[in-house]
Structure 1
């Protein structure tokens, strides 16, 4: 259990009204506002130089903004836009939530969130909304500079995030799980020759980003690289690609690895050593009704599992991930299935498992 996860929620709100140099990016008391402000200034300086160059040479710029990201700290003016009433309360926000899949319930327990009250939710959600608006303002400044330098109309822009935020939905915060709020990310692609105002419901994944950028540049990708360029799909609706999205997770807060597939309006999640989950995203976008235990969907589950096994061997990949973490004993014992929390604690004390800086510290009895 991570005490810092609840602390982020308890301490959410308005950051101190100071100006820093952005630190190294992360500041547990101030958040990422100064980091994003400084990075935005760098991006604008770069665009000014590009706009002043006489030779028309190709260029590329990556802008890594951190908002919206915990710690949930935001300047006063952004917080005031939303607190306390300009927010949408999360659905299924139960702490604890015994209606969750057993593996997701493990995640909620490991986060150590404890009791989260409605005032606490309103506070942290207002701060998160404020971070989104602050991010929008920074992106707006970059767009304005592109236009000022007469670069906007000839520039491709890909706007995306690396993960979502549960923000109280299903009694969860942060990411890690396969719920839409966590695994779904924004994606906007704009550029010369691309249609505007178009929304595409075809599921895609961020692994497609690299071949898309190479396609924009007129370059070939290496044959062993995964993913498919988004450009044919954007330009003419081409379906010459896999019509599903795939995601996998082998990380913290989950006792067992999971693999997710989204296809034809359904989301299937395979949990190693546990039952799967299945949601109808069209009829149940809040993912409240797990269909995996409904016998009428047995064939659908088999179809998804068969598709999954064309992509990855879930048990083999899970074993490799656990082995890399030292969670498989010399005799092949899977500690994630057999070890109790007190036993794990004792092995950390003994130095069998590495005591990461972020791990909790225990006093000797």
Structure 2
């Protein structure tokens, strides 16, 4: 058998518990459930920064955001930083990127052999790290956030070319359809090639990222009663840490009624099932081309979604729904149906890809490959904690999080820390 291929599928803003394989009572994710049954899933997996750009720049370089100056949205990656894609390309392994990776500014290829994107994020010039962004100042309110909640629901039944990747009324359904088409086309090309050289493909899907808009058939699967109401959903919520309370204020959500919650959660669930359908298309094509059994597949999300929990939506904070992620790894020779509770983060993706490809990981990478942990249940030299950080909007100052031994500690700059017992 030839050297294995690699497929990484990254969704955007997927709450870690809203999957069938994690025991959710209503969500329909048959393709992810099957992937988990054939592979290993992690129950304590975390983003290294719960916002798009820093999370993605972190996992493609295998470094924490603070090591690469990826402080927030719009911070371009230094072209001198080695990425997993460039490392593969230089070793003669084709690395393709389709969809959202969130490189900022002119530098978009990130070292991939080939790539296609719909939406390109602009870059700050420069990012105002020392002088706070307006969105970190006392009293700032992001007025469009409540509109996003109020406008959740069924999208118009139209077909577009993906637009710019974002449409307030249509959401990202067409973006993901187009990107999945690109991924399927790539797999068909690879299936028809006579040589058996290994390759890697990254697929960046946008669902279930807001706007919470989804085709009617998906929405109707869950509205109004096939959903779990969020815990501690108080608007406002005076029980929050002062910095998280500041985030709630900055979101400007105001009163969110039960009817509004049911509407937005139904749309969110529908987006996850639509996402699962696209993942199913990719898996089906791998099988159709005879590539499935010799391909490592990683499913993950760049961060989670609060989804009304604690009176919050979106991400940005260190609560589980926001910073936690779903993570599945399936591949040739790996155990099936395994669950791992050890804390891991996406900074481990880089060394995992290197491990699969038989390449060395640089000594200055803080992560460790997931493969020994999956195969042996333990790994010498692996940190027994998960680390995440945040330097962006809605918080007056930065925060840093550690999860270890069932506890979560968050250090808030210039404010008191918090400590939670996650088991209880």
Q: Normalising by structure 2, what TM-score?
A: 0.66
Matches within 5 A, 1:5-154: 5-154=145-294
Partner in structure 1 of residue 402 of structure 2: 261
Matches within 5 A, 1:191-210: 191-210=331-350
Superposed CA deviations along residues 298-347 of structure 1, whole A, max 9, x for unmatched, are xxxxxxxxxxxxxxxxxxxxxxxxxxxxxxxxxxxxxxxxxxxxxxxxxx
More helix by share: 1
Q: Supply the distance in 1 between the matched residues of 2:232 and 2:363 (Cα, whole angstroms).
A: 44
Q: Supply the distance in 1 between the matched residues of 2:363 and 2:232 (Cα, whole angstroms).
A: 44
Superposed CA deviations along residues 283-310 of structure 1, whole A, max 9, x for unmatched, are 1xxxxxxxxxxxxxxxxxxxxxxxxxxx
**CA RMSD across the alignment:** 0.6
Superposed CA deviations along residues 175-221 of structure 1, whole A, max 9, x for unmatched, are 00000000000100000011110000000000110111011000001
More strand by share: 2
Q: Secondary structure of the residue that 1:39 maps to in structure 2?
A: helix
Partner in structure 1 of residue 328 of structure 2: 188
Partner in structure 2 of residue 273 of structure 1: 414
Partner in structure 2 of residue 211 of structure 1: 351
| Count of matched residue positions in the alignment of Structure 1 and Structure 2 | 283
Q: Which moved more, 1:220-229 or 1:109-118?
A: 220-229
Deviation for aligned residue 1:114:
0.5
- Is residue 236 of structure 1 aligned with residue 376 of structure 2? yes
Q: Secondary structure of the residue that 1:103 maps to in structure 2?
A: helix
- Higher relative contact order structure (alpha carbons within 8 Å, sequence separation ≥ 6): 2
Q: Supply the distance in 2 between the matched residues of 1:256 and 1:118 (Cα, whole angstroms).
A: 32
Partner in structure 2 of residue 327 of structure 1: none
The unaligned stretches of length 5 or more in structure 2 are: 1-140
* Stretches (4+) displaced over 6 A: none
Q: Supply the distance in 2 between the matched residues of 1:247 and 1:207 (Cα, whole angstroms).
A: 10
Q: Supply the distance in 2 between the matched residues of 1:108 and 1:57 (Cα, whole angstroms).
A: 50
The unaligned stretches of length 5 or more in structure 1 are: 284-365
Q: Supply the distance in 2 between the matched residues of 1:46 and 1:189 (Cα, whole angstroms).
A: 21
Partner in structure 2 of residue 249 of structure 1: 390
Q: Normalising by structure 1, what TM-score?
A: 0.77
Deviation for aligned residue 1:226:
2.3
